[in-house]
Structure 1
């Protein structure tokens, strides 16, 4: 391990592996939150560039599993159904990744954390905040662009999609598969973008690679929980986790 990593210690790598198992478990159970958990926890003991690089390959591989869990045909159908969101996300991940070294961390954390927390919190309280279905296409474009803008610089583009899925009250299986498909294509774009920026090279690339098996272990455990959740509990868990994720983003913004 010492010969592979120069700037990372054994305890940092071990702690990162434990965090990724937990993040994979949560993702397996509700379909999202892996990057949120990883970035949040990694920021406490890893440099920002290492934290972002670390989540890229585990996110890519676990989303392959999630997107194709029901087979190739359902995944392709989902990609067609959410094509506007996908296009917006991918294009703006590629664009915003070029700004990774320029965007103030506090700014994008607050801009993402505050609206996500308010929306999910209102849903938990039972307030009717669903997007009108006649504006579905417009909402997909707008939220896809927002997700892509954040995704390129932070590795996190899930909350806008979750807000959309909650608004249209997507069934559990469809919602989880939609997350997997959108996150997978976004993850491919993120990897391609940061191969270009130089982030995914050397030690950072190896660090990300060794986290993949831990992520898949967590996913396998989380799938067992997901299969037991009914639609109502799944929706409540998703809302609660979105609130927690949003609050954590706000905390990170003020704590640096």
Structure 2
């Protein structure tokens, strides 16, 4: 049975509120921010289990509601199917690996993602011929990393951005990928005994602060330059990632 004292409980609730705030402003980042913060104090598998329910619920609306669902499915189904398969495989790696080292891998992913965003680097737009094999390759890689670290952000987001999708297609495509990968992660972790019932119930506690943070973030988005906020968040994520990597590999 996993237990939380008052300080730990307050930190977990605060992490979900901050992560929801980031998602409200930027439209992404709830699982990545949650994991980056929770992995500072808890083993990575526990952090991944805690973020499952809030991530699932906050991605349902983003992915399923909107006019782009069917066009996104028609174009991205190889990417999405490979992401699910990769996540299930990654959960198997998680069950057999040192969680401390995987938290370091999460840190490296955060640093890489922040560096790409802050430097303004973008992947080249794939031609239709290359897209046919790149989509399942990138989807599988993103899924594998999701199964191992819980974060679907990299390389999924840079690749979808490189495809130059219309904004609504990008939002729903990324949301759908995150939703399916998180569902696969839950199944994979449960199948390998990494999702104890008490952590599943504890994950429900994060739903309210996550949605509260999203509501606050949505208000802030209307009052401040989004680009400036994204830069601040990327710097913060990069520093958290650097700390996780140094702690794991030093």
Q: What TM-score do the two structures reach when normalised by structure 1?
A: 0.81
Report whether the alignment pairs 1:120 with 2:117: yes
Moved more, 12-21 or 214-223: 214-223
Question: Does the Cα contact within 8 Å between 1:110 and 1:250 map onto a contact in 2?
Answer: yes
Deviates more, 1:131-140 or 1:55-64: 131-140
Aligned to 1:152: 147
1:56 to 52, 56, 81: 52
* 2:102 aligns with one of 100, 105, 110: 105
1:84-233 correspondence to structure 2 within 5 Å? 84-103=78-97, 104-105=101-102, 108-109=105-106, 112-113=109-110, 115-123=112-120, 129-134=123-128, 135-225=130-220, 228=222
Q: How many residues align?
A: 244
Once residues 69 and 235 of structure 1 are traced to their aligned partners in structure 2, the CA distance between those partners, rounded to angstroms, is: 26
Cα 1:75–1:29 change in 2 (3 A) is farther
**Closer, same or farther in 2 for the Cα pair 1:86/1:239, shift >3 Å?**
farther
222 and 65 in structure 1: CA distance in 2 versus 1, 3 angstrom threshold: farther
Q: Would you say the 8 A contact 2:44–2:102 is kept in 1?
A: no
Cα 1:77–1:240 change in 2 (3 A) is farther
CA offset digits 1:48-98 (Å, max 9, x no partner): 33211111111111111221343xx53233233221211111001011101
Does residue 79 in structure 1 map to residue 73 in structure 2?
A: yes
Contact 1:122–1:129 (Cα < 8 Å) also in 2: no
1:136 Cα offset (Å): 2.5
Structure 2: 5+ residue runs without aligned partners?
A: none
Unaligned residue ranges in structure 1 (runs of 5+): none
Shift of 1:26: 1.1
Task: Quote the Cα distance in structure 1 between the aligned partners of 2:127 and 2:231.
Answer: 20
Instruction: Name the SS of the counterpart of 2:201 in structure 1.
Output: helix
Of 107-116 and 204-213, deviating more is 107-116
Counterparts of 1:60 and 1:99, CA distance in 2: 22
Counterpart Cα distance in 1 of 2:2 and 2:111: 37
Other structure's SS at 2:79 match: helix
Alpha-carbon distance in 2 for matches of 1:234, 1:143 = 28
Report the secondary structure of 1:156's partner residue.
Answer: coil
Hey, what's the Cα distance between the residues in 2 that align with 1:213 and 1:221?
A: 12
TM-score by length of 2: 0.83
Once residues 83 and 247 of structure 1 are traced to their aligned partners in structure 2, the CA distance between those partners, rounded to angstroms, is 34
